[in-house]
Chain A
Amino acid sequence: MDKRISDLFDYGEEPVVTDENNNMFDPEEIKKLTMKKIYKDLSTETTVQRRKYSRTFLAVAIAACLIFLFAIAAYAIYSLGIRDLLPNSAKNLELPETAANLVEQHNETVAADGWSARVTESICDEYNILVTVTVTANEKYILAFDGTPEDPVSIIGLDGNQTLVEYAAAQGKTILFVGAALDLPKNIGDISGGTSSQNITENELVLLLRIEKRVSTPSIDVVCRVWATEYGSKEASPVAQIPITLTELQSEYFEYVPTAVDAVPNLQIGNARVAVSPLGINMVFPVYTDNLSTIYGFSYATCDEVSGTQGYFKWYDDGLAEAVAPSPADIEDITNASTSDGGVWKVEWLMGQGTASDRLTVHFFGKNNEPMGVIVFIKQ
């Protein structure tokens, strides 16, 4: 997809501008203008209700809404979990039978004004975290995930040609867009992943949060953040923060050695580390080159013995001192060219389906899907 470079600046949580060189504006004057807007809001509201989104409020709200939640639960004929959502997520996988019985059940819940969020299931291994969250709202809302009002009603599982906003207007309801994320400790290193969802009813949906991590964390405390934005409202929306603890499934580890370290031109292959857990097979091996443009020429890799996922190149900043020469683009700025900074390129398959067979055959492909080499790994 085409992205705007200018839009990428919106995705960060660190300030881009660090120096302030502007004394043109008097804070006292700004205060007056700002408070005037706030008081104008208060004076025109028909119902004035200060919302305090402190943890104390949320704790009290949990207690106060327990009866509400039990009533809602009574109406929920069934719920959806990891097994139901995983096939329709970006991973497009079936939850292995070995893992289905190991899914941990949760009931941590936070209530907000008109809606609540409950963590329902989790499962994780060294490389993968899967968590489901059920969001329930009262009858005046229609819940949707990460959409726009012009999206078709099919995104919430309904038939018909109406858009969400048309349907909501016809029903006399308000659209509530929900989202969620998992906050992991900072020292866990690089993570990736995604979120998918499925509606159970118009006012109940389940989110599947999927995280790929690269550090083993036998027991890890994370915070599941859930937010809901009321379409058309200018009021602030609360963010529910649900702390949970995840316990890693144990993996069995195997080492594989490449039969020919230089079978792919300009690329040297290191030993593969394979971790097999009830969730699947995770395989990672390093690659080395003295020309970065070689790496940029690859697109993906496949493994004959591992299905359900492809291998992707990933930069690991893990302290291994593997210097690579600057790319041609850097030659012009040779004095500023950065080396690997102690990192290394690796190829990884995460949560694949397969077993640690005696040999693993890996095929490399270029940008136009052209074959670029084959490596056979032998189990030690």
Chain B
Amino acid sequence: MRKVINFDDNLVEAMQAGDESALEMVIDKYTAYVGTVVWNIIGSSLSQDDAKEIISDVFYTLWKNRSKVNQGKLKAYLGSISRSRAVDALRRSRLDISLDDDLIEIRISGPEDNTVKAEEYAALRKALNDMPEPDHTIFVKHYYFYQKTNEIADQLGLNVNTVKAKLRRGREKLRKALTEGGFFIG
């Protein structure tokens, strides 16, 4: 059996070659990470058993789509699938995950292809990097983990209005970063 060194790119390559032991090593390495993402989204609404089911589904999806994972992107791929599966679970349970302040108007001149999406993401990262704490944590908890403002306020020991004000500042930084990135904001 081929010896697999525990580095992400080697693990990805081994999985793509059909090596299930590489998948097991990925599970060893990333259960805590995937669990963090999943539990942050569903923890207040669903059970630990639900979370285990979602986590195993994430790794199952990784195995089924292993050819799509690019070198150096394993963790990001797992994060994306974890978030997606957790949100799906909330929706299937008919729990409302909509955020009141989620919309932003962006004007682009052509189709929104992968390049444009990458640029939008780059602006988001820039805005996040510009946010001090706890604004950064609040922004990620609300827009990435879909946590409501009152939940976040309870977790961080803050007033709800303070949380809302910091989200508002975060959205301003995002608008600024998008504008600097060449987008025009309505």
- Within 8 Å CB of B112, what residues of A? 1
With the chains together, A37 CA to B112 CA distance in Å? Answer: 35
Indicate whether A238 reaches chain B with its CB closer than 8 angstroms: yes
- Within 8 Å CB of A19, what residues of B? 36
Cβ B35 vs Cβ A25 within 8 A: yes
Indicate whether A196 reaches chain B with its CB closer than 8 angstroms: yes
- Within 8 Å CB of A41, what residues of B? 64
With the chains together, A15 CA to B77 CA distance in Å? Answer: 8
Q: How far is the CB of B183 from chain A (nearest CB, A)?
A: 10
Indicate whether B57 reaches chain A with its CB closer than 8 angstroms: yes
Cβ A25 vs Cβ B180 within 8 A: no
With the chains together, A29 CA to B31 CA distance in Å? Answer: 10
Interface string of B7-37 (1 = CB under 8 A from A): 0000001001110100110011001110111
Cβ B68 vs Cβ A227 within 8 A: yes
Docked complex: A291-335 residues within 8 A CB-CB of B: 292, 295-296, 299, 312-315, 327, 329, 332-333
Interface string of B111-124 (1 = CB under 8 A from A): 11111111111011
When A146-B113, A194-B113 are in contact, do A237 and B68 touch as well, CB less than 8 Å?
yes
Residue of B nearest to A229 (CB): B68
- Within 8 Å CB of A295, what residues of B? 179
Residue of B nearest to A9 (CB): B144
Docked complex: A185-212 residues within 8 A CB-CB of B: 191-196, 211
Cβ A38 vs Cβ B63 within 8 A: yes
When A191-B115, A192-B119, A336-B130 are in contact, do A2 and B103 touch as well, CB less than 8 Å?
yes
Cβ B132 vs Cβ A336 within 8 A: yes
Cβ A31 vs Cβ B27 within 8 A: yes
Indicate whether B89 reaches chain A with its CB closer than 8 angstroms: no
Cβ B23 vs Cβ A333 within 8 A: no
- Within 8 Å CB of B143, what residues of A? 5-6, 8-9
Cβ B130 vs Cβ A30 within 8 A: no
Cβ A33 vs Cβ B56 within 8 A: yes
Cβ B110 vs Cβ A194 within 8 A: yes
Q: How far is the CB of B68 from chain A (nearest CB, A)?
A: 6
Residue of A nearest to B111 (CB): A194
Contact of B32 among A23, A235, A299 (CB under 8 A): A23
Docked complex: A22-64 residues within 8 A CB-CB of B: 22-27, 29-31, 33-35, 37-38, 41, 50-54
- Within 8 Å CB of B13, what residues of A? 54
Cβ B181 vs Cβ A315 within 8 A: yes
Q: How far is the CB of A97 from chain B (nearest CB, A)?
A: 24
Indicate whether B156 reaches chain A with its CB closer than 8 angstroms: no
With the chains together, A37 CA to B142 CA distance in Å? Answer: 32
Of A1, A14, A22, A338, which is in contact with the most chain B CB atoms at under 10 Å from its CB? A22
Cβ A25 vs Cβ B55 within 8 A: yes
Cβ A50 vs Cβ B111 within 8 A: no
- Within 8 Å CB of B63, what residues of A? 34, 38
When A27-B28, A191-B115 are in contact, do A12 and B108 touch as well, CB less than 8 Å?
no
Q: How far is the CB of B130 from chain A (nearest CB, A)?
A: 6
Residue of B nearest to A196 (CB): B111
Docked complex: A49-99 residues within 8 A CB-CB of B: 50-54, 89-91
Contact of B73 among A4, A11, A13, A30 (CB under 8 A): A13
With the chains together, A10 CA to B60 CA distance in Å? Answer: 19
Indicate whether A170 reaches chain B with its CB closer than 8 angstroms: no
Indicate whether B51 reaches chain A with its CB closer than 8 angstroms: yes
Q: How far is the CB of B56 from chain A (nearest CB, A)?
A: 4
Cβ B24 vs Cβ A31 within 8 A: yes
Cβ A299 vs Cβ B124 within 8 A: no
Contact of B124 among A8, A25, A329 (CB under 8 A): A8
Cβ B56 vs Cβ A52 within 8 A: no
- Within 8 Å CB of A235, what residues of B? 64
Cβ B16 vs Cβ A53 within 8 A: yes
Query: Which residues of B are at the interface with A, using a C-beta cutoff of 8 A?
Result: 13, 16-18, 20, 23-24, 27-28, 31-33, 35-37, 39-40, 48, 51-53, 55-57, 59-60, 63-68, 70, 73, 75-76, 78-80, 83-84, 99, 102-121, 123-125, 130, 132, 140, 143-144, 146, 169, 171-174, 176, 179-182, 184
Q: What 10 additional pairs, Cβ within 8 angstroms, besides A16-B144, A25-B35, A31-B28?
A: A6-B146, A10-B84, A25-B51, A33-B55, A34-B23, A35-B20, A37-B57, A236-B65, A237-B68, A315-B180
Name 13 interchain pairs, CB-CB below 8 A, sorted by A: A1-B112, A2-B105, A3-B104, A5-B99, A22-B35, A52-B16, A192-B115, A195-B111, A195-B115, A238-B67, A315-B181, A329-B169, A329-B176
